[in-house]
């Protein structure tokens, strides 16, 4: 009788240890793999993520421009070749957005007077959208995406080569579509 009780206790302990190993060892192994950085963490954004995001002062934006996503092309007053390439890229991305184009405003930021000018398809004179104040100087070699709360979160490199810019436009469009799909603001 004692032998059967001992066998039952042993088998119960053995079953409990098997259950422990089956359920807890994978969790512990996953934790060690995550903390040990045994694999690359993935990101789905194609542009360069700006961390921490640059917060702009958007209090002086016009009513039509506030609460919208912004594609920002930094430039001087006179738009040179790089500015023209960036403007073309942003306008094409805006057209490609289709029905989501109302949520996004392609714009040009003129650093000398901190003006944000909308690159409207129908208005070649480009309407004044307001004054923004980014916390740092925006490079003319990039196109930026800003969320409706005024945070510049992504940037895409621009060059004088149209082929490279088309790839950047595809990346910008893919990220913008994903942001618009997941966004609860704007």
Over residues 92-110, mean pLDDT: 88
pTM of the complete model beyond 0.75: no
Instruction: Determine the 3-state secondary structure of 184 from DSSP.
Output: coil
What is residue 66's predicted lDDT score, i.e. its pLDDT? 77
d(CA 95, CA 90): 9
Q: Are the CB atoms for 79 and 85 separated by under 8 Å?
A: no
Distances (CA, A) of 165 to 38, 75, 87, 181, 183: 35, 17, 11, 24, 26
Instruction: Determine the 3-state secondary structure of 120 from DSSP.
Output: coil
Check whether 2 has a pLDDT greater than 70: no
Token pair in block for residue 157: 């490199």
Task: Return the number of other C-beta atoms located less than 10 Å from residue 178's C-beta.
Answer: 13
The string of DSSP letters for 72-111 reads EEEE-SS--HHHHHHHHHHHHHHHHTGGGGGGEEEEEEET
d(CA 118, CA 133): 16
Check whether 120 has a pLDDT greater than 80: no
Over residues 164-184, mean pLDDT: 90
Pairing mode, if any, of strands 69-75 and 104-110? parallel
Q: What backbone phi and psi angles, to 5 degrees, belong to 100?
A: -85, 0
Q: What percent of the chain is predicted at pLDDT more than 70?
A: 84
What is residue 41's predicted lDDT score, i.e. its pLDDT? 67
pLDDT in tens, 39-87: 776 677 788 888 888 888 777 777 777 788 989 988 887 888 888 888 8
What fold, for 48-182?
A: Glutaredoxin (3.40.30)
Check whether 173 has a pLDDT greater than 90: yes
What is residue 7's predicted lDDT score, i.e. its pLDDT? 65
Return the beta strands (E) in the chain as ranges: 48-55, 57-61, 69-75, 104-110, 115-118, 128-133, 142-146, 151-157
What is residue 129's predicted lDDT score, i.e. its pLDDT? 66
Reduced DSSP (H G I as helix, E B as strand, rest coil) percent helix, strand, coil of the chain, to 5: 40, 25, 30
What is residue 64's predicted lDDT score, i.e. its pLDDT? 73
Over residues 10-24, mean pLDDT: 84
């Amino acid at each position: 009788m004692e032998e059967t009780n001992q066998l039952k206790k042993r088998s119960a302990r053995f079953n409990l240890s098997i259950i422990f190993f089956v359920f807890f060892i994978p969790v512990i192994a996953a934790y060690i793999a995550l903390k040990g950085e045994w694999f690359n963490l993935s990101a789905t954004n194609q542009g360069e993520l700006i961390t921490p995001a640059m917060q702009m002062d958007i209090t002086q934006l016009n009513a039509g421009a506030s609460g919208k996503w912004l594609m920002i092309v930094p430039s001087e007053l006179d738009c040179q070749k790089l500015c023209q390439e960036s403007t073309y890229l942003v306008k094409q991305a805006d057209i490609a957005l289709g029905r989501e184009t109302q949520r996004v405003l392609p714009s040009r930021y003129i650093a000398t007077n901190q003006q944000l000018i909308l690159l409207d398809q129908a208005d070649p004179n480009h309407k004044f959208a307001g004054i923004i104040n980014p916390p740092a100087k925006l490079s003319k070699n990039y196109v930026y995406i800003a969320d409706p709360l005024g945070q510049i979160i992504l940037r895409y490199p621009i060059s004088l080569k149209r082929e490279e810019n088309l790839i950047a436009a595809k990346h910008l469009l893919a990220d913008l579509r994903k942001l618009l799909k997941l966004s609860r603001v704007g």
